[in-house]
Structure 1
């Protein structure tokens, strides 16, 4: 049985839809408003759980507030098959929240208040040493405190597991983290934050990938939205196109991609096939509204 571990954030998403995204100083009337369950870590954990085989164990380490939304999140995660031994509810803290603006073409702007996510310290992480020790793979992001992310990657890597870092949201994290990363999956904005190279086509993606390799990761996958993903690895280098679809909401697309990538690789797919699988899963997600409710199930990709 494969054991897949996700470390990351969980947020309550407050979503507003607009004809177009407001500019600085502009006030627009939202076409609708809804509350969703989200957070990069939680979205990726849901994607993994929905897309993996029944014999796979999916563990999630995160911090929630001690509130109603935290109870609802845990209930829904269990329904998806996520093990919640690593989920802690922190007294006196609110569950993280995000304000999401969505334009008519699916583009979005997001602001995050971390809440209890910021209490996932290294000390708190080590309370889940058993989950870390048994993980075959770790998938994590940057909505948790950076020292905690580094420690988790280091512990899994040192005991022979494999690691994937989705360096989102883009922020300065130094270079120490990369020596514990097998696979890194930035989008264009995040790749530019790491390298200083504006990524807007296949050539610039290849250039940025080579710079990222110099920091340590052996496999670099730069996601390029509707165009697909640029892969740079000893096995294959080049663009793997995404299916063409009509996007209505791109909020959880990257998270679905990362979760599906982990599932594909843990199922022993080749890197190219795993990225192709991840592209297909993300393409389904963008045709649906919402964060976790837009993430497909395994049968959606098989049919």
Structure 2
């Protein structure tokens, strides 16, 4: 069977992980029990997970011209991902500080680097590559103008478009309605569909059903996910695991979803698969080595009768 091919456009940078007992309150200093660094960013994580699952992956990202950009490029080559780095001279690469508490929950602070300055014309010359892929995956860490350009290129052929709308932005709704699938978490979905945080999930579901979107997957962490597909709502339970670190679980979910879709599965089956893979990933620290092996995935799918 032909390998799935995916073109990922997204953020990459250096991630600093701090392991703490609890998150600090205002004015409080907490002491980290451990420190770990590795390349990361939503785009990087999604490209990495797609490759480890078995897809052929192109990854376009913008960096500075510092040592962190070199680390990112070298890591992508080692993973077997085809990198397309737009290096901006004299600028810093994105960095993130990630605090993980003893429950496995995390808080993240990101220095975006050059991510706000990337222009849509960086995609000039990539039309053939994007058009030759099964899927184009993007997030909202880059300007909306770049997303529009990516969609426009994909629409010239048969490349399907998935956007992970993080961070959420209500102004992007019209653009998001043009793509095949969006994959917000609950808080992001409430921003997109203009639902208050205090409102129940049922209100969000009704807004989704009334919308022009063709397919929406709302990820709910340990509560599973809600799949909206051409008017039909399906609720999918999460895998029951003891979480060690939830960092990157959403990125691994998106990668797993697209991998399974590109292998020919339907949306609901792909969402169940993604839930298993991302669920298994939270048992390990950090992100780069959190993607479970094919053997682990197959064993769990059989156990869960999926």
Structure 1 length-normalised TM: 0.90
How far does residue 199 in structure 1 lie from its aligned partner after superposition?
A: 6.4
Separation in structure 2 between the aligned mates of residue 65 and residue 91 of structure 1, nearest angstrom: 6
Query: Which residue of structure 1 lines up, in the alignment, with residue 218 of structure 2?
Result: 222
Q: Is the 8 A contact 1:50 1:298 kept in 2?
A: no
Partner of 2:230: 234
1:220-271: CA deviations, max 9, x gaps? 1100001111111138522111210010111100000000000010001121
Aligned to 1:12: 14
Q: Does the Cα contact within 8 Å between 1:6 and 1:45 map onto a contact in 2?
A: yes
How many residues align? The count is: 297
Distance 2:194 2:173 in 1: 14
Indicate the residue corresponding to 2:181 in structure 1.
Answer: 183
Task: Give 1:80's aligned residue.
Answer: 79
TM-score normalised by length of structure 2:
0.89
Measured after TM superposition, the shift of residue 78 of structure 1 is 2.3
Deviations 1:154-182 (A, max 9, x none): 32134332111111122343332123211
- Does structure 2 retain, via aligned residues, the 8 Å contact 1:7–1:41? yes
Q: Where do 5+ consecutive residues of structure 1 fail to align?
A: none
Aligned partners of 2:209 and 2:231 also within 8 Å: no
Q: Which consecutive residues of structure 2, in runs of 5 or more, have no partner in the other structure?
A: 300-306
Choose 157-166 or 8-17, whichever is displaced more: 157-166
Instruction: Tell me, in whole angstroms, the C-alpha distance in 1 between the residues paired with 2:160 and 2:12.
Output: 23
Deviation string, structure 1 residues 109-136 (Cα, Å, up to 9, x no partner): 1111111333421011224223222222
Contact map agreement 1:10 1:117 (CA 8 A) in 2:
no
**Separation in 2 of the partners of 1:36 and 1:24?**
28
CA 1:214–1:177 in 2, change beyond 3 Å: closer, same or farther? farther
Q: How does 1:138-287 map to 2 (within 5 A)?
A: 138-198=136-196, 204-212=200-208, 214-234=210-230, 236-287=232-283
Distance 1:240 1:111, change over 3 A: same
SS of structure 2 residue aligned to 1:292: coil
Runs of 4+ in 1 over 4 A off after TM superposition: 198-201
The offset of 1:296, in angstroms, is 2.7
Residue of structure 1 equivalent to 2:68? 69
Q: Which of the numbers 23, 26, 29 marks the counterpart of 1:27?
A: 29
Is 1:38 aligned with 2:34?
Answer: no
In structure 1, C-alpha distance between the alignment counterparts of 2:237 and 2:149, rounded to whole Å: 34
Indicate conservation of the 8 Å contact 1:209/1:222, yes or no.
no
**Contact 2:13/2:69 (CA < 8 Å) preserved in 1?**
no
- Give the secondary-structure state (helix, strand or coil) at the position aligned to 2:26: coil
Partner of 2:303: none
Q: CA RMSD in A?
A: 2.1
